Structure formats: structure tokens, C-alpha cells
Amino acid sequence: MTKTVIAGATLIDGTGGAPVPDAVVVIEGDRILAAGSRNGSTLPEAANVIDAAGKFVIPGIINSNVHLLDAWTMMIGIGTVEYLARFEGRLHEVIEEAAQIALATGQTTVFDTYNALQPVLYARDRIASGQAAGARIFAAGNIVGMGGPFSPDFSKKARETSSQTFCNRMDALFEEGVGRRLAALPPEEVRLIIREYLGKGIDMLKFAVSDHILTEWLNPHLTFSARVQRVIAEETRAAGKPLLTHTTSLESLNDAVSLSADILIHATFTSKVPIPDELIEEIVKKNISAEIQPVTQEFQCHLEQTQQPMTIYAGGVHQQNTVKMIEAGVQILLGTDAGCTDPDCLADMPEADKADRPWSLGNDHTHWLKAMGQLGMKPMDLLLAATSNVARAYNKDDVLGTVTAGKFADLLILDADPLADVENYRRIDTIFQGGRKVDRSTLPTKKVVTAYPRSEPQ
């Protein structure tokens, strides 16, 4: 098997150690065979040598929270009906396209924490088997306790102008038997349903500690009783899968921490209530990971000046919560909620709404890195939040997250130092995923959502 050698770059391996100048990374098959200083090492014979002098090697970016079908623009904004109706029967193609958009910008692995289960698992498996290109996908399917796209959790209003048959079909596709009805059931009945759901091939389980009724963002309700919460946590741990929580209030966050969840999704969104220092200390003590969704200062100013509802999302108290978590040393994860946004929806937006917009796949992770840097996160900590922290939180650090021997050969060769300027994460020379050089010019291989303008059915 021919080896590939990347020689001469500065290696920032994702372990948190000091950058290694004039490094050598040896790839064999889909794995990293060796990585470290060139000093004293011997390059293997019959190797394909890439001269990377003056460049920088980092692990592939890992996004801890995406929705490859666009949950932001489509499901909680305008466009739900047209998006789902236009691509019904082809949702797996949309998911693959989204994974390819992510891969082309350096995101070699993504964790999809809400999606239609069967389409996302189908796309996941096609990418894993090499039948399709794309960022490596790990999937949760539905958020346990939430309804589908036409439920109160997302876009109930769209039901008013749609056939109920279509809406019900779509809701059932997303809910997969673990929707809002679970909140009315006794613990042991929920246990059996969760056990069955965990056996459907999901990689992790995410559940709604509090609801997602967006008109009530500042007055959320707990979805499950404490007894049912414990059952969900017990079954997830028994299945050996990461436990993720959706929280939108301080009380729901407190419950998630009490359960010792593995990952707190959008951990700093607490309906404008400050997170007490003692709760943040408990998060650190329990080594719970926090996925945080900031926006850049420029985008926050735009939201405030135009008085948009999303002003509260990452601003004010929620921004203060984020700063406190950074300063306390919480293990923070890059996560963006981004998906494959419909160009029709983007076309309706003013240009200022699209600049630094963090919810469209592509530059979403660079917006995140810029925003967290503006809030005081150190350059090395930013890199760890986008690589090894995510792998560790999802129990994938045996194969992902660092440029070290034995890991999947997922790495980026950058033209400039990402520790000097977060904008340098965009300056990609080469992407390797699983030991293969990614041809970015071919991605996405099949335009489905992004085939635009639309005149004929795609």
C-alpha cells in the first residue's frame, strides 16, 4: 500500500501541545501511521511526498451539532412546505449534498442532532461505504419528545395552508415514534419505546428536557417528569450511546446537568436567565461538554439594529453565559445548527441578513470561530473546540480529533497559521478525509437544493 507523506508543514495536532515546525505526517490507507517532527525521522520508501513547507496541518474540523436538512430557515422560518414537498422522496440526496458542502469547507465529520431518521441513516451509510462523498455523519434522528416539522415545535402555522395528509406524513417521518406523545406516557412505557428507538441504528440520543415551542421561547416548559428523564438517560447509557440534551431554560439546564448528560446542546440559551456560577462549576466538575452557538459581534449588531427576534438568541444574558463558560474552563464544542439552506429563502433575505449568518452550511464554522474568539476564547482552545473536544465528547476520540498515529487520516493543510488569525481556517490548500485527498472542485457532486435558479424540476 503506497504511503502518503506530508512534509515540512507546521503541525498543530489537536492535542493541545505546542505546534511542531518542519513536521512529517505519514498516511497509510485511511489511517495516520506517524506524525511528528521531521528531525531524526526517515521518510518511507515509495511514498507519495507532498511538500508542505510554509503551510500548517490541523485535524479535520468536526461540527458537533448540525441539521443537514435546514432546520433553521425551513422548519422554524418560511419555506417548510416548499422545501419538504419539493424534495420529498429525495431527502437523503439533500442530506448528502449538505454533507458535501460541509466537507468542501473542511468539516470532515458532522454530528446531525435532528433529522428525518431513515433518510439521514441512509445518507450516513452511503457516505461511510464510499458510495457517496461527504462529511462523515453521525446521526440522532428525532429529538425525543419533539414533534415533526408541522408540529408546534417547528412550523405548526404551515399546516393552515397545507393538506393535513402531507403534514401528517412528514411529521411521522421525522418523529419515528418518539414525538410529543411520549410526554403523556408513564416511565416504563417510555422505557420500552426508547429501547426500541435506540435499536434503530442511531449513533446518539438527544432529548428535549424543555420544549421547542418558539413563540414561548421566554416561557419554556419542561417536557418530561424527573422519572421519565431518568428512564431516558438510563436506557441511553445502557445502549452505550452519548446522551444529548435540548434545553431552553435554566431549570431544564439544571436537570440536564443533574442527569450528567454527555453534551448540553446550546447550553447558554436559558431564556435570558443568568447561569449561576455554581451550576457552571458543576458542569466543569462532571466534565460535561457544552455546545454553544454564538454569533459574531457584527451580526449581533445587525440583529439589534434591525430589531429581529433572533437578537436574544446569542446576545445579552446569553452572551454573558457564554463568556462565563469560557472563563470557567468548560469543555466547549463547536456547533452551528447549520443546514442546507434553500436559495429561495436566502433570496428573500436582505444582504445584511446573510453576512456572517451562522446557520447555513459552508462558512458556519468559521463564523463560530470568529465569534468565540471575539468573546475571549484563546486560539488553541478554539482549535480544540472544533476538533478533539468534539471527538472526546462523543466517545470517538479513539479514531477522530487529532493528527496522531492510529487515527483516521482526516486533516487540513492550510496556507496560513490558524492560531494567528481565525480567518486562516478558510485558507485551505488540501483536505484529506480517511486518507483520501478531497477534490473540492467536484462538491457537491449532485446539486439538489443548490441547483439554482429553478425553472424545471430537478
Q: Domains of the chain, with CATH numbers?
A: 3-59+402-438 (2.30.40.10), 61-393 (3.20.20.140)
- Distance from C-alpha of 389 to C-alpha of 384, rounded to nearest angstrom: 6
Using pLDDT thresholds of 50, 70 and 90, give the confidence band for residue 414.
very high
pLDDT greater than 80 at residue 43: no
The mean pLDDT value for 254-263 works out to: 98
- Pick 75 or 220 by higher pLDDT: 220
Question: Mean pLDDT over residues 89-103, rounded?
Answer: 98
pTM for this one?
A: 0.97
| Residue 44: pLDDT band with limits 50, 70, 90 | confident
Residue 214 pLDDT: 63
Please give the Cα distance from 138 to 124 (Å, whole number): 7
Q: DSSP letter string over 80-143?
A: HHHHHHHTTT-HHHHHHHHHHHHHHTTEEEEEE-SS-HHHHHHHHHHHHHTSS-SSEEEE--S-
The C-alpha angle 436, 442, 445, rounded to 5 degrees, equals 100
Place of cell 513547507: 53
H or E stretch covering 385: helix 379-385
pLDDT in tens, 116-159: 999 999 999 999 999 999 999 999 999 999 999 999 999 988 99
**Could you give phi then psi for residue 382, rounded to 5 degrees?**
-60, -45
CA nearest to 55, candidates 82, 25, 96: 25
Distance CA 45, CA 58 (A): 25
Percent of the chain with pLDDT over 90: 90
Give the residue carrying C-alpha cell 435532528: 114
Looking at 184-198, 205-219, 313-327, 405-419, which range is the least confident one? 205-219
What is the rounded average pLDDT of the residues 347-372? Answer: 94
How many residues are recorded in the chain?
458
Are 230 and 244 in contact by the 8 Å Cβ rule? The answer is no
Least confident range from 52-66, 72-86, 423-437: namely 72-86
| Backbone torsions φ then ψ of 357, nearest 5 degrees | -65, 125
The residue with cell 477534490 is 439
- Per-residue model confidence (pLDDT) at position 41: 74
Model confidence pLDDT, tens digit, residues 184-234: 999 999 999 999 999 999 999 999 999 988 665 678 999 999 999 999 999
